[in-house]
């Protein structure tokens, strides 16, 4: 006897026992059987039918009205059965999609992988965590032939798969011209043209591009509408926003960007981030940039990588472990 047949027989037995004794044990048995029915994809109309058959066998010749009423009930169950089947098939589809996305996400990780360059006088820490499986933030660190360090942080407005696809394009464009035109202003202007040509209107990308020259300790930077970073001035012992003007990428093909510079001294620190950090919500309110600075300050004494990890952990907890947006934070500390 297969499990199904066994359940059918069992159903009748339990039903009989329950009608005779009204005991809890039979009801517990009913619960078990119903789980087994679900596991075997038995639809509600079949259960009603099973019930009718059991009743006919157990109590033949009982009230006709009862049987008619149960046939009526059976009829009303058909659509529930369909809804259940549809739910099952949608669930399977969802699992398929999920596994496809996780393959895509791991591909993205491989494609967009970047390693933190070793620089004698600069301690760099990086963390980037997607809100969903795929990351719409992008960061890129590269050492040029002349020994300068290029640091890019970008954010596609929007998240998920479209944002992630967009980022692959940004990465390959950056790589194709970062060598010959390693200058933040030119890089953004070139990138802007690529985005303007290839990305549909309505999708915006912000980027902060910085270039650090270890021989002069100067950080050159330009911004395309990106979230301002923070500069910690060790001498004055204060944080200030790194404000840089510039239109988001892709709005108009001839956008020009301004380039700024900042000389880093011993103990100074530069923090670059995406709005996933500043738009962390606490009980529905956006947190203020003072609070972000406060949190960074608390961990600033740690080595850069450890510090960004701790800052992330703090905001992760603040958002009850459910990131609302992709989160990227880069910290650079001048040691010497």
Burial zone of 237 (CB within 10 Å; 0-12 exposed, 13-18 middle, 19+ buried): exposed
Only one of the segments 42-50, 164-172, 247-255, 277-285 lies at the binding site for another protein (rule: CB under 8 A); that segment is: 42-50
Site string for another protein, 88-127 (x = CB under 8 A): -xx--x----------------------------------
Would you say 197 and 237 are in contact if contact means Cβ atoms under 8 Å apart?
Answer: no
Q: Which is nearer to another protein, 75 or 288 (CB)?
A: 75
CB of 305 to another protein, least distance (A): 45
Q: Which is nearer to another protein, 68 or 109 (CB)?
A: 68
Taking CB under 8 A as the criterion, which residues in 258-287 touch another protein? none
Q: Is the dihedral of CA 307, 313, 318, 324 positive or negative?
A: positive
CA distances from 304 to 95, 277, 296 (A): 38, 17, 11
Q: Which is nearer to another protein, 7 or 325 (CB)?
A: 7
With tokens 């078990």, the residue in question is 32
For residue 41, state whether it binds another protein (rule: CB under 8 A).
no
For residue 238, state whether it binds another protein (rule: CB under 8 A).
no
Out of 23, 31, 57, 86, which residue is the one contacting another protein (CB under 8 A)? 86
How many chain residues bind another protein (CB under 8 A)? 16
For residue 19, state whether it binds another protein (rule: CB under 8 A).
no
Distance in angstroms (rounded) separating the CA atoms of residues 178 and 141: 11
Distance in angstroms (rounded) separating the CA atoms of residues 131 and 127: 13
Site string for another protein, 45-84 (x = CB under 8 A): xx--x--x------------------x--xx--xx--xx-
- Would you give the end-to-end CA distance of the chain in angstroms? 80
CA torsion angle for 319, 324, 326, 332 (degrees, to 10)? -30
Residue 255, strand partner residues: none
CB of 66 to another protein, least distance (A): 15
For residue 23, state whether it binds another protein (rule: CB under 8 A).
no
Would you say 254 and 241 are in contact if contact means Cβ atoms under 8 Å apart?
Answer: no
What string of DSSP letters covers 90-156? HHHHHHHHHHHHHHHHHHHHHHT---PPPBTTEEEEEEEE-SSSS--EEEEEEE-TTS-EEEEEEEE
CB of 98 to another protein, least distance (A): 17
CB of 34 to another protein, least distance (A): 18
Enumerate binding residues for another protein (CB under 8 A).
Answer: 45-46, 49, 52, 71, 74-75, 78-79, 82-83, 85-86, 89-90, 93
């Amino acid at each position: 006897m297969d499990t199904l047949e066994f359940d059918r027989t069992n159903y009748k037995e339990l039903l009989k026992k329950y009608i005779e004794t009204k005991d809890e044990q039979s009801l517990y048995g009913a619960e078990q059987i119903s789980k087994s029915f679900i596991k075997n994809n038995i639809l509600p109309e079949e259960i009603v039918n099973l019930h009718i058959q059991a009743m006919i066998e157990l109590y033949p010749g009982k009230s006709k009205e009862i049987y008619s009423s149960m046939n009526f009930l059976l009829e009303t169950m058909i659509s529930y059965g369909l809804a259940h089947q549809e739910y099952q098939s949608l669930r399977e589809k969802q699992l398929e999609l999920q596994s496809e996305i996780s393959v895509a996400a791991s591909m993205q990780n491989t494609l967009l992988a970047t390693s933190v360059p070793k620089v004698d006088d600069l301690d760099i820490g990086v963390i980037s965590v997607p809100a969903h499986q795929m990351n719409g933030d992008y960061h890129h660190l590269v050492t040029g032939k002349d020994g300068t360090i290029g640091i890019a942080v970008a954010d596609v407005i929007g998240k998920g798969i479209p944002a992630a696809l967009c980022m692959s394009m940004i990465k390959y464009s950056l790589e194709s011209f970062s060598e010959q035109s390693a200058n933040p202003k030119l890089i953004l202007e070139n990138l802007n043209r690529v985005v303007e040509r290839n990305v549909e209107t309505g999708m915006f990308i912000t980027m902060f591009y910085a270039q650090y020259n270890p021989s002069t300790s100067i950080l050159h930077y330009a911004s395309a509408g990106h979230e301002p970073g923070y500069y910690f001035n060790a001498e004055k012992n204060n944080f200030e926003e790194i404000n840089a003007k510039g239109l988001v990428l892709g709005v108009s093909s001839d956008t020009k960007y301004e380039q700024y510079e900042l000389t880093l001294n011993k103990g100074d620190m530069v923090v670059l981030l995406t709005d996933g950090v500043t738009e962390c919500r606490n009980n529905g309110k956006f947190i203020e940039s003072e609070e972000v600075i406060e949190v960074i300050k608390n961990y600033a004494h740690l080595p850069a990588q450890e510090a960004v990890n701790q800052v992330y952990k703090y905001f992760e907890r603040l958002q009850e472990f459910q990131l609302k947006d992709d989160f990227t934070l880069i910290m650079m500390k001048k040691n010497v």
